[in-house]
Amino acid sequence: MKSILVVDDSATMRRMVIASLRAVSNIQCSEAGSGLEAIERLALAPVDLIVLDLNMPDIHGIEVLQFVRSHERYQAIPVIVLTTRGDEDSRTVAFAAGASQYLTKPFTPQLLAAQVSTLLDG
């Protein structure tokens, strides 16, 4: 069973992401409502993939991504950035920080599920 951490400050968005991932077999999802909570959850239990929002009130998603990429224990975890920020600068910064994939909201559940499947199988 693969574990996915869904990080978004909106509980509604976390539920939508998790519902979208029901199409992916053999996964379980956990949630974090902030960047700090995401880092805490990573320390407590390993995950196989992270779906990460950028705009959060405490620690920005880019900072969470930089944390993940700077620690050997977490470096190999694929990170899908899922954000409302569709501008090229945000996309460039996210990929430079180590994002595996970049999707914008609103998103299609099929595309998110396909990206998750590809990254987990790859």
The enclosing domain of 58 has a CATH number of: 3.40.50.2300
Give the span between the Cα atoms of 17 and 7, in whole angstroms: 10
- The pLDDT value given to residue 48: 98
pLDDT at 30: 97
CA distance 1 to 105: 27
> pTM above the 0.85 mark?
yes
When pLDDT is cut at 50, 70 and 90, the band that residue 102 belongs to is: very high
Contacts of 63 (CB under 8 A, 6+ apart): 35
Q: Is the pLDDT of residue 36 over 80?
A: yes
| DSSP, res 54 | S
pLDDT at 122 over 80: no
Handedness of CA 56, 86, 2, 67 (dihedral sign): negative
Per the structure, the complete domain to which residue 39 belongs is given by 2-121
The secondary element (H helix, E strand) that includes residue 30 is strand 27-32
Structural domains counted in the chain = 1
pLDDT, tens digit (0-9, with 9 covering 90-100), for 40-99: 999 999 999 999 999 998 999 999 999 999 999 999 999 999 999 999 999 999 999 999
